[in-house]
Amino acid sequence: MSASDNPTSAAAASGRGPRCIWLTGLSGAGKSTIAQSLEQQLRARGLHTCLLDGDLLRLGLSRDLGFTQADRAENIRRTAEVAKLMRDAGLIVLVALISPLRLERQRARELFAQGEFCEVFVDTPLAECERRDPKGLYAKARRGELKNFTGIDSAYEAPLNPELHLQTDGTDALALAQQIAARLLVVG
């Protein structure tokens, strides 16, 4: 059966069914905050969701991984596989994960049928991410205490063609989450 013959895929393509919304951006960009707000909005509309947050995944599912390129790729692979399982269970899956490389995000996308994966670029300038940094990670990376920190000594490749590009400067998380819901989920 092709994705176009699958009613679940057809519903996802229309914005009304299970799917994966993958928020990517630098540490401190606002991915988790936006995803949490979006999850609240969707649940208030009676939609079933699952939020996979990168920080929480690192405490459990990926606690055995470090921050080398190979470990990051494995973290993204694991997250994408769990997201697909949750989507298969009928949920709208929200992933908030730095996922710095295009190739890794493309591999995640390939697990889903057309219309089931929505890449959202949470675009926040590096200086703003550093200003917001509640854990002091950027300062530690700048001092050389943290190695392979995305945006400092490890690359972040911005998406070339995301389904949605959110500019965060001057816009709060609630409004950004509403943009995702309106544009990608066709809920109104």
Catalytic, out of 9, 32, 99, 154:
99
The residue among 39, 87, 72 whose CA lies nearest residue 187 is 39
Coil, helix or strand for 159? coil
pLDDT at 133: 87
CATH code of the region 21-184: 3.40.50.300
Cα-Cα end-to-end distance for the chain: 31
pLDDT average per 10 residues of sequence, the chain (188 residues): 42 62 94 94 91 87 80 91 94 94 95 93 93 89 90 92 91 90 67
Q: Which tens digit of pLDDT belongs to each residue from 101-138?
A: 999 999 999 999 998 999 999 999 999 999 988 789 99
Give the pLDDT of residue 13. 43
Looking at the chain, the number of H-run helices and the number of E-run strands are 8, 5
Instruction: In whole angstroms, give the CA distance from residue 100 to residue 158.
Output: 8
Contact between 164 and 34 under an 8 Å Cβ cutoff? The reply is no
Domain segments of the chain as ranges = 21-184
Q: Decide if 99 is catalytic.
A: yes
What is the reported pTM?
Answer: 0.87
- Three-state secondary structure of 28-79: CCCHHHHHHHHHHHHHHCCCCEEEEEHHHHHHCCCCCCCCCHHHHHHHHHHH
